[in-house]
Chains A and B, each alone.
Chain A
């Protein structure tokens, strides 16, 4: 009977800790999502300068979240299984992850840019080649800011005794949303 109560207490404690971590990060994430929309609403006139941007937009945001989210999850798994105990191992895995994230980000941006160009050409009859360089510049800018932030936050959270899995998902999408919107706006400013 005692062990039943001990088990129940452990499960409740585990649930409460997990709930608090996810809830806190989700609250910040939702507020961040509103902030991203708020930022975007200030530049609606600029968004019309590049036709096809609204087709690129959801895919670009999704891609940023996917790349950083998977990277954080891989690093977390490595931390949990003890594959990153030595400095050399940690460097090997982190460098590899950062390299892959940069490569994937640039390759997928080119693809999304081309897709947005093709869709706007065939479905809306608009030719806007500028969408491709906008996508590439935005991806490079977003990579430079987002990847180091994601790696640092994952390692720091694990070091402080938190489960990065609970926090990094919402963190990545919040930072990703804000950084992606900013990167796209800067890229439009550079290209146009």
Chain B
């Protein structure tokens, strides 16, 4: 029994709730050789959808949550204020470290989401070469960046009158490396696990992953930095 796709069918498809499946999606995929990923993207942001409304509806809750979590991070920053002020390189390191972990959250999340849309993530994500490549790249960049900001923070602090000591320089770089390694690991795990979970729920992970990874990275970086500062200094 054949079924020709009419304009009425297309209209019915466009009106369909996003979380429901329709047999036409499969038919369009077969007949016109359009990938499921493209159909999914067009279902979200196609000509019949109001893009801004879809984005706002999907993003608003997670963005509110992310902003509140980050504000909590700011509150935590006030608690380690005295340690930060006493040890100048740590104070200089803090915004750069925070920024860097946020960057890793954005890069890892957007790269992983693109892989999901392109259908390249296998059932076991660990066995997917592209996912392993993302992990390797992020860890390599993290290691170099951590040494760079650790050393730069110390040099700037010395320039502002902080006494130079090789041991302290090594400790600053060590703190930067340990904090970056821990936080990059957290960011990667959140990006991958949450990305798969959101994608399976037929939502666009771009709208969830970046806010959640960056805000959690913000809060975690405050805690990890505070713990390592107490441990090393």
Q: Which residues of A pack against B, CB within 8 Å? A: 11, 14-15, 18-19, 22-23, 26-27, 29-30, 32-34, 36-37, 54-59, 61-63, 65-67, 69-70, 72-74, 76-78, 80-83, 88-89, 92-93, 95-97, 99-100, 103-104, 107-108, 111-112, 115-116, 119, 163, 165-166, 168-170, 172-174, 177
Residues of the B chain whose Cβ atoms lie less than 8 Å from the Cβ of A34: 92, 95-96, 152, 156
B185 contacts the other chain (Cβ, under 8 Å)?
A: no
Give the CA-CA distance A177 to B95 in the complex, in Å: 10
Contact of B214 among A65, A165, A170 (CB under 8 A): A65
Closest to A71 in B: B55
Given contacts A19-B141, A23-B141, contact A170 B133 (CB under 8 A): no
Contact of B103 among A29, A58, A111 (CB under 8 A): A29
Residues of the B chain whose Cβ atoms lie less than 8 Å from the Cβ of A88: 47
Beta-carbon contact of A62 and B41 below 8 Å = no
Contact of A70 among B37, B68, B210 (CB under 8 A): B210
Contact of A58 among B41, B54, B70, B149 (CB under 8 A): B70
Residues of the A chain whose Cβ atoms lie less than 8 Å from the Cβ of B118: 80-81
Contact of A74 among B55, B60, B75 (CB under 8 A): B55
Beta-carbon contact of B45 and A83 below 8 Å = yes
Residues of the B chain whose Cβ atoms lie less than 8 Å from the Cβ of A57: 74
Give the CA-CA distance A5 to B79 in the complex, in Å: 54
Contact of B133 among A18, A70, A104 (CB under 8 A): A18
Residues of the B chain whose Cβ atoms lie less than 8 Å from the Cβ of A80: 114, 117-118
Beta-carbon contact of A108 and B102 below 8 Å = no
A-B contact pairs, 11 of them (CB 8 A): A11-B129, A18-B133, A26-B103, A37-B92, A63-B63, A88-B47, A97-B51, A166-B107, A169-B106, A169-B107, A174-B99
Q: Which residues of B pack against A, CB within 8 Å? A: 35, 37-38, 41-42, 45-47, 50-56, 59-60, 63-64, 66-68, 70-71, 73-75, 77-78, 92, 95-96, 99-100, 102-107, 109-111, 113-114, 117-118, 129, 133-134, 136-138, 140-141, 144-145, 148-149, 152, 156, 204, 206-207, 210-211, 214-215, 218
Give the CA-CA distance A46 to B100 in the complex, in Å: 27
Given contacts A89-B47, A165-B110, A173-B99, contact A108 B137 (CB under 8 A): no
Beta-carbon contact of B111 and A165 below 8 Å = yes
Beta-carbon contact of A93 and B110 below 8 Å = no
Give the CA-CA distance A70 to B209 in the complex, in Å: 8
Given contacts A11-B129, A30-B100, A96-B52, contact A69 B214 (CB under 8 A): yes
Given contacts A27-B148, A80-B118, contact A170 B67 (CB under 8 A): no
Beta-carbon contact of B51 and A95 below 8 Å = yes
Closest to A16 in B: B137
Beta-carbon contact of A168 and B145 below 8 Å = no
Give the CA-CA distance A173 to B78 in the complex, in Å: 23
Give the CA-CA distance A108 to B65 in the complex, in Å: 10
Contact of A33 among B38, B47, B53, B99 (CB under 8 A): B99
Residues of the A chain whose Cβ atoms lie less than 8 Å from the Cβ of B60: 104, 107
Residues of the A chain whose Cβ atoms lie less than 8 Å from the Cβ of B45: 74, 78, 83, 92-93, 96
Give the CA-CA distance A29 to B118 in the complex, in Å: 28
Contact of B55 among A54, A61, A97, A107 (CB under 8 A): A97
Give the CA-CA distance A67 to B210 in the complex, in Å: 9
Give the CA-CA distance A103 to B110 in the complex, in Å: 22
Closest to A115 in B: B71
User: Chain B nearest CB: distance from A44 CB in Å?
Assistant: 13
